[in-house]
Amino acid sequence: TGSLGWTDNVYQDDRDRSSWFWRAGAGFAAQASFARGRGSIGFGVDYNYTDYLQQNSQDFSQWVAGLNIGYTFPFGLWFKAGVKYEDLTRPVGSDYTGNSPRQNFVPFLDFGFANAIGNKVNIDFGIRFAATNFDKDAYETGNRQVTTLWVKVSYPFIKRSSRVYIRYSYSYDNRDSDFQNNLNSGNELVGGIEGAIPSGQTDALVGFLELGYVNANFADAYLVQDGIVTDDSNNAGTGVIRARLRYRMGPRTSMDLSIVKDLAFSTQGNYQDRWYAGYNADYTLMRDLILRGSAYFE
């Protein structure tokens, strides 16, 4: 794959904010089924490189590899297990500048019961472990291991093309740096709708929208850096909004909208309150050529 684009960040310095860029990538993916389609196994690896012609310090590369296996039993029980490994160099948030090489290692196990109650209610569970490690000592405050457990209950909405759901998750965040407090109890409860809402032969609204609340309890109330108290509360809470929606206006045109408001990891305090909104508009010029415009705010 390849693309050519131009970007302009209005919040950066005038000398650095604008640049043309080119991006090239390659990958491989394979998936096979067994046991008459009840089981599946898949593997994928993807690499891409982005070169900013006027912002060399922003150049980055990344590759991602994943392996998963799943099976659905005749009585409705299903499971999917796998692992994903990422090697990234792109800057991550305002806490880091320039390239920040790091690796993410994420094994997971998801399982559930389809049509468990009344032949309609799905009950799903999951556990995943995510370890992040930075190559440079200057960024070692970002090293951490996060364990998350979740449970989700869903019910069909608008026939069976979409479902309403409620999900609870618990997280434990162990941070390597002595300058940070561990997250001992992260609790989140959200409700939402997911799937597709068709409106015609080609028009459809696909994705999810969820609302809820997240609360984070840290090991210590105080976080001191260079003799200065940067955080004096071990309890943080905020409303949660997440949405990723795609509207297909026709066979050639589609629009994507992403919205996130939640708590995010921070090296400057116990947590940071994050807002993100992104928008894409795609138009297919021909079979393998797409025109895309994008904008985001964080």
The answer, yes or no, to whether residue 91 has pLDDT greater than 80, is no
pLDDT score of 47:
97
pLDDT value at residue 39: 96
Helices (H), the chain: none
Q: What are phi and psi of 102, to 5 degrees?
A: -155, 165
Instruction: Tell me what pLDDT residue 98 has.
Output: 63
58 in helix, strand or coil?
Answer: helix
Give SS3 for 96.
coil
Based on C-alpha coordinates, what's the Rg of the chain? 21
Provide the pLDDT for residue 277. 96
Strands 39-52 and 18-34: antiparallel
* Model pLDDT for residues 136-186, shown as the tens digit of each residue: 877 888 899 999 999 999 999 887 789 999 999 999 999 898 778 888 999
Q: How far, in Å, CA of 97 to CA of 142, rounded?
A: 13
Average pLDDT value for the chain: 88
Instruction: Provide φ and ψ at 144, rounded to 5°.
Output: -165, 165
How buried is 162 (Cβ within 10 angstroms: 0-12 exposed, 13-18 middle, 19+ buried)? buried
CA–chain centroid gap for 273, Å, is: 16
Which pLDDT score is estimated for 85? 97
- Kindly give, in sequence order, each residue whose CB lies less than 8 Å from that of residue 85, ignoring residues fewer than 6 positions away: 64, 65, 66, 103, 104, 105, 106
Selected residue with higher pLDDT from 56 and 240: 240
CB atoms within 10 A of CB 30: 9
| Two tokens, residue 68 | 């998963």
pLDDT of residue 240: 96
- Interval 99-150: pLDDT, tens: 778 899 999 999 999 888 878 899 999 999 999 998 887 788 889 999 999 9
pLDDT tens profile 19-71? 899 999 999 999 999 999 999 999 999 999 999 888 777 788 899 999 999 99
